[in-house]
């Protein structure tokens, strides 16, 4: 039986090369639409691969040639243990289609035990969409094989790679001539020795479970450590919904969390209401709460004509439980168009850039009209909406005309992860980067990973937005050059290459739900091409490797630390720097230099600063204290002892920073 789902069935109606300009805007509500199937997608793996240049100073824990980790929501893929160890999984793939499976690595408190360049999998058969939970010291991984069952692997002692594989078949569903027991796109959570699993039934058209296509079902299992097995109960339809309420679910448009005796399942699909299904007795009984009603109740892609493009959820969501068992959720926002009832697809608007946060203390979003879930409408109603961030500090968000927004099936701000602990709520997500942080080779937007924090359990949100995936090995345009570029009538690809080099795509954040030793631990997928490269071209399937990047940060630094040293003169260092921007016009001459270099810049006030010269490994090779005076400043730095190469020169005070590239010959 065919188990390969359609990828995006229509490409963006825009050029793959940048036009000659950019547009200042804070929204993109009128960008071209993209077709999307309603169930989920899998695509074939590459027939050949192209090695990618590695940034050796970054912390990579895995490799994959499969450039897709989810259709929407990220499943639980990382567990931070109380003893400081970490378990992490992802969908991996080598150079052949048959090699796909669940990649795995384990941090033993000192180092990661597996080779980060390996594409080895846990399972003994081809599968994908691996998800992870732990019961005590036992690790449990579920992945779908796309044929007849989930593959369940259990390792009784974390970090030992001693996996035992079993299967879990779904309920039998039929299209009238054939029967399937397939389960797809699983997610796992656990509380005590109880394992909670959600997954979809067969996704091929016509295979209905109790009248519902691609039905989302819940399994409750009990783990027995003595036998290293799980006993599963019979499945239940998530939300106890009927076919008259929901005609079809969609792959990965849901999330699960468990803490103590509370279990929360949240689904926010484009085609139906966003609802929370919650249990306070460890999965025995559940109650349903509608979080956001759908403008077309009972929507069916094959029978419901939608031409007024209402705002809806985009299918990427997250849920977390705080210490009191209160549920916190977030989901991306887009617009829906279904003007063809025969093509088995709908259209969505990836340029709608907004993601809404909600918790159980808030009023549900029930006053449904075409614009109820418009990010601006939600903001006006008092909801927290995460918008696309201004990365240049000039008060504008840029859209390059005709730049492609690569399709991940989600909106411009989406794929959230939530951690709620100690009265704080942390939301990690991805967004389309601002101009000029673009994939200039392919004329497309990169995505980056960001984080925000609420210190009062989600009531208010303040502080800076932390750009977590910022790559300090990149070179960014200096302040003077950026001003000139803005004033030019035309832009060229060469201009943009001068503006930003060696930026990359950072997508699919997976965050451990538990803070350990004050740290938020997470991973995401990193590569140097925007969008999913699982696509066919004139020479067949061709893919460069993607790397799984591990990132750990003090939870207290979210909203303060921005992980940037030179982004457009460090405007993301802190809110004070953005407001004051005391350094400007930094220039160096001669450049290239061989004996010494004169560094000039202007300052808006007197300050004590530090001047640093760093090599491309991020190592400081020269450092000096500088007394900065209001107005024009010049500093002479000897470079005759430095090896020939490229360096970054940074001048920094507690109110601002400026960086420029220096070539030493």
3-class state of residue 644 by DSSP:
coil
Q: Provide φ and ψ at 626, rounded to 5°.
A: -130, 130
> Residue 215: which of 247, 254, 256, 188 has the closest Cα?
247
| Tokens matching residue 194 | 């109880």
How buried is 604 (Cβ within 10 angstroms: 0-12 exposed, 13-18 middle, 19+ buried)?
middle
CB 536 within 8 A of CB 543: no
CB 301 within 8 A of CB 38: yes
Cis check for the bond before 590: say yes or no (omega within 30 of 0). Answer: yes
d(CA 271, CA 278): 21
> Given pLDDT bands bounded at 50, 70 and 90, which one contains residue 563?
low
- Which residue(s) pair with 476 in the sheet? 500
What average pLDDT does the segment 646-653 reach? 82
Q: Does the pLDDT of residue 655 top 50, yes or no?
A: yes
Instruction: Give the tens place of pLDDT for each residue, 22-65.
Output: 333 334 444 555 655 545 655 544 444 443 333 334 689 999 98
> Given pLDDT bands bounded at 50, 70 and 90, which one contains residue 492?
low
Instruction: Give the tens place of pLDDT for each residue, 245-279.
Output: 999 999 999 999 999 999 999 999 999 999 999 99
Q: State how far the alpha carbon of 467 is from the alpha carbons of 180, 205, 275, 518, 528, in Å.
A: 44, 41, 30, 19, 18
In percent, the amount of the chain with pLDDT more than 70 equals: 79
What average pLDDT does the segment 54-77 reach? 83
User: Which class does domain 582-664 fall in?
Assistant: mainly beta
For residues 71-94, one letter each, b for 16 or more C-beta atoms within 10 angstroms of the residue's C-beta and e for the rest, the string is: bbbbbbbbbbbeeebbbbbbbbbb
d(CA 368, CA 182): 35
Q: Does the pLDDT of residue 474 top 70, yes or no?
A: no
> Given pLDDT bands bounded at 50, 70 and 90, which one contains residue 649?
confident
d(CA 414, CA 446): 14
Higher pLDDT, 402 or 141: 141
Instruction: Give the tens place of pLDDT for each residue, 164-205.
Output: 999 999 999 999 899 999 999 999 999 999 999 999 999 998
Q: Does the pLDDT of residue 3 top 60, yes or no?
A: no
Instruction: Give the tens place of pLDDT for each residue, 286-336.
Output: 999 999 999 999 898 889 999 999 999 999 999 999 999 999 999 999 999
Cα 640-646-651 angle, rounded to 5 deg? 80
> Given pLDDT bands bounded at 50, 70 and 90, which one contains residue 482?
very low
> Given pLDDT bands bounded at 50, 70 and 90, which one contains residue 660?
confident
Q: Residue 332: how many CA atoms within 13 Å on its side-chain side?
A: 35
* Domain limits, the chain: 22-557, 582-664
Q: What is the pLDDT of residue 477?
A: 47
> Given pLDDT bands bounded at 50, 70 and 90, which one contains residue 562?
low
What residues contact residue 579 under an 8 Å CB cut-off, 6+ apart? none
> Given pLDDT bands bounded at 50, 70 and 90, which one contains residue 222?
very high
d(CA 383, CA 306): 26
**C-alpha dihedral over 76, 80, 85, 91, to 10 degrees?**
20
Instruction: Give the tens place of pLDDT for each residue, 225-250.
Output: 999 999 999 999 999 999 999 999 99
Q: Provide φ and ψ at 481, rounded to 5°.
A: -65, -35
Instruction: Give the tens place of pLDDT for each residue, 330-368.
Output: 999 999 999 988 887 888 888 899 999 999 999 999 988
Query: pTM here?
Result: 0.81
Please report, in angstroms and rounded to a whole number, the separation of the first and last CA atoms in the chain.
Answer: 63
């Amino acid at each position: 039986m065919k188990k390969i789902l359609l990828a995006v069935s229509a490409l963006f109606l825009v050029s793959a090369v940048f036009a000659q300009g950019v547009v200042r805007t804070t929204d993109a509500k009128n960008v071209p639409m993209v077709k999307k199937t309603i169930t989920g997608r899998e695509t074939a793996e590459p027939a050949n691969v192209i090695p990618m240049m590695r940034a050796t100073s970054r912390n990579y824990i895995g490799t994959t040639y499969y450039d897709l980790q989810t259709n929407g929501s990220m499943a639980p893929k990382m567990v931070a243990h109380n003893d400081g160890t970490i378990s992490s999984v992802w969908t991996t793939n080598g150079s052949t289609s048959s090699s796909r499976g669940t990649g795995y690595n384990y941090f033993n408190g000192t180092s990661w035990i597996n080779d980060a360049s390996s594409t080895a999998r846990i399972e003994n058969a081809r599968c994908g969409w691996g998800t992870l939970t732990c019961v005590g010291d036992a690790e449990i991984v579920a992945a779908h094989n796309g044929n007849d069952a989930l593959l369940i692997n259990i390792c009784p002692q974390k970090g030992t790679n001693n996996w035992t594989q079993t299967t879990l078949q779904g309920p039998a569903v039929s299209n009238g001539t054939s029967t399937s027991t397939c389960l797809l796109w699983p997610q796992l959570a656990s509380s005590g020795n109880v394992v909670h699993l959600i997954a979809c039934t067969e996704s091929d058209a016509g295979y209905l479970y109790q009248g519902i296509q691609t039905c989302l079902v819940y399994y409750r299992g009990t783990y027995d450590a003595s036998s290293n097995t799980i006993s599963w109960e019979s499945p239940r339809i998530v939300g106890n919904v009927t076919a008259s309420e929901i005609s079809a679910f969609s792959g990965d448009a849901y999330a699960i969390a468990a803490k103590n005796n509370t279990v929360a399942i949240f689904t926010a699909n484009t085609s139906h209401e966003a609802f929370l299904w919650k249990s306070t007795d460890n999965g025995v009984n559940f109650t349903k709460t509608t979080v956001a009603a759908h403008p077309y109740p009972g929507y069916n892609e094959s029978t419901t004509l939608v031409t007024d493009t209402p705002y809806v959820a985009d299918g990427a969501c997250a849920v977390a439980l705080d210490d009191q068992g209160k549920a916190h959720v977030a989901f991306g926002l887009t617009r829906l168009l279904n003007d063809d009832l025969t093509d088995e697809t709908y259209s969505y608007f990836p340029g709608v850039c907004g993601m809404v946060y909600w918790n159980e203390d808030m009023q549900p979003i029930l006053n449904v009209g075409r614009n109820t879930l418009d990010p601006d409408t939600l903001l006006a109603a008092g909801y927290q909406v995460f918008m696309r961030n201004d990365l240049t500090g000039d008060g504008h968000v840029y859209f390059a005309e005709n730049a492609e927004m690569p399709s991940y099936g989600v909106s411009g701000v989406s794929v959230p992860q939530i951690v709620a602990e100690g009265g704080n709520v942390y939301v990690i997500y991805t967004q389309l980067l601002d101009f000029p942080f673009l994939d200039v080779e392919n004329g497309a937007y990169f995505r980056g990973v960001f984080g925000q924090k609420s210190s009062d359990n989600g009531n208010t949100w303040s502080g800076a937005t932390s750009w977590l995936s910022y790559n300090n090995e990149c070179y960014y345009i200096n302040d003077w050059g950026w001003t000139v570029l803005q004033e030019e009538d035309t832009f060229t690809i060469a201009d943009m290459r001068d503006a930003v080099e060696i930026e990359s795509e950072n997508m699919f954040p997976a965050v451990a739900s538990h803070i350990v030793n004050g740290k938020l631990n997470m991973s995401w997928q990193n590569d140097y091409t925007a969008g999913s490269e699982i696509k066919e071209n004139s020479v067949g399937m061709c893919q460069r490797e993607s790397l799984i990047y591990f990132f750990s940060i003090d939870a207290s630094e979210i909203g303060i630390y921005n992980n940037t040293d030179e982004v457009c003169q460090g405007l993301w260092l802190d809110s004070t720097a953005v407001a004051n921007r005391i350094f400007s016009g930094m220039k160096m001459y001669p450049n290239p230099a061989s004996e010494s270099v004169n560094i000039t810049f202007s300052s808006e006030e007197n300050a004590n600063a530090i001047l640093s010269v760093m090599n491309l490994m991020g190592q400081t090779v020269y450092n000096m204290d500088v007394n900065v005076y209001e107005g024009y400043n010049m500093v002479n730095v000897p470079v005759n002892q430095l090896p020939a190469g490229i360096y970054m020169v940074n001048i920094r005070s507690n109110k601002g920073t400026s960086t420029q590239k220096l070539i030493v010959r």
